[in-house]
Amino acid sequence: MVIETERLILRPFTVSDASDVLEYLREPAVNCFASMKLNSLEEAETEMKNRCGEIEYYFAITLKDTGKVIGEIDAYPESDDPSEDDKRPKGTFSPCWMLNKEYQGHGYAYEAAYAFFDYLFKEKGARRIYAYTEDYNTSSQHLCEKLGMRREGLFLEFISFVNNPDGTPRYENTYQYAILKKEWYKQNED
């Protein structure tokens, strides 16, 4: 699957994307991506090989002009059935988004996320899209709000991705944002 916008192409990863991805995953920008850290080109190539089969829900964000991979966006279908009976279609998605810092502040994240949300709602059966973002991550909160997501709540000391210097878990305060399919259609109708 390929998603095209004015300035971007969102497409599945290939092994040759390794060096572009290493640029932004050598030092993951936020704690929630700490486990994605890549230490070498070799590690990046292995990671790209793992991502190659992901063709529906995991996209490289590339510049249309140059083909450079400047970031990534993904979200997988989650069950919205509390009984976990898998018979109902999975209509809940929670995106992760990340841009190389050299390419932030140009509207690329919004352009990519808008197209990705539209794809999930219109082609992949999304009913609700929600996002978690830490309380200090104002860029990600801003992106959620620009996409029309509602801030639904703040979970105090919700999760820990890294440890404090003394070895104890560092807990993060996390906002949840969400948007429903009907809200997406309403705000984006012509």
Ligand X SMILES: CC(C)(COP(=O)(O)OP(=O)(O)OC[C@H]1O[C@@H](n2cnc3c(N)ncnc32)[C@H](O)[C@@H]1OP(=O)(O)O)[C@@H](O)C(=O)NCCC(=O)NCCS
Question: Do 92 and 79 touch, CB atoms closer than 8 A?
Answer: yes
Confirm or reject binding of residue 37 to ligand X (CB under 6 A).
no
Among 57, 62, 74, 133, binds ligand X (CB under 6 A): 133
Instruction: Identify the sign of the CA torsion 148, 154, 155, 161.
Output: positive
Confirm or reject binding of residue 109 to ligand X (CB under 6 A).
yes
Cβ-based nearer residue to ligand X, 81 or 103: 103
Q: At which residue do the structure tokens 């929600």 appear? A: 130
CA–CA distance, 93 with 138 (Å, rounded to integer): 21
CA–CA distance, 69 with 25 (Å, rounded to integer): 12
# of chain residues touching ligand X (CB under 6 A): 20
Confirm or reject binding of residue 159 to ligand X (CB under 6 A).
no
Please report the beta strands in the chain, taking only residues with DSSP state E, as ranges in sequence order: 3-4, 8-11, 58-63, 69-74, 92-93, 96-99, 128-134, 150-163, 169-180
**What is the nearest approach in angstroms of ligand X to the Cβ of residue 138?**
9
CA–CA distance, 73 with 91 (Å, rounded to integer): 18
Confirm or reject binding of residue 120 to ligand X (CB under 6 A).
no
Confirm or reject binding of residue 137 to ligand X (CB under 6 A).
yes
Contacts of 69 (CB under 8 A, 6+ apart): 13, 17, 20, 21, 60, 61, 62
Confirm or reject binding of residue 94 to ligand X (CB under 6 A).
no
Cβ-based nearer residue to ligand X, 136 or 185: 136
Confirm or reject binding of residue 98 to ligand X (CB under 6 A).
yes
Cβ-based nearer residue to ligand X, 18 or 98: 98
Among 49, 88, 122, 146, binds ligand X (CB under 6 A): 146
Residues that bind ligand X (CB under 6 A): 29-30, 32, 97-99, 104-110, 133, 137, 139-140, 142-143, 146
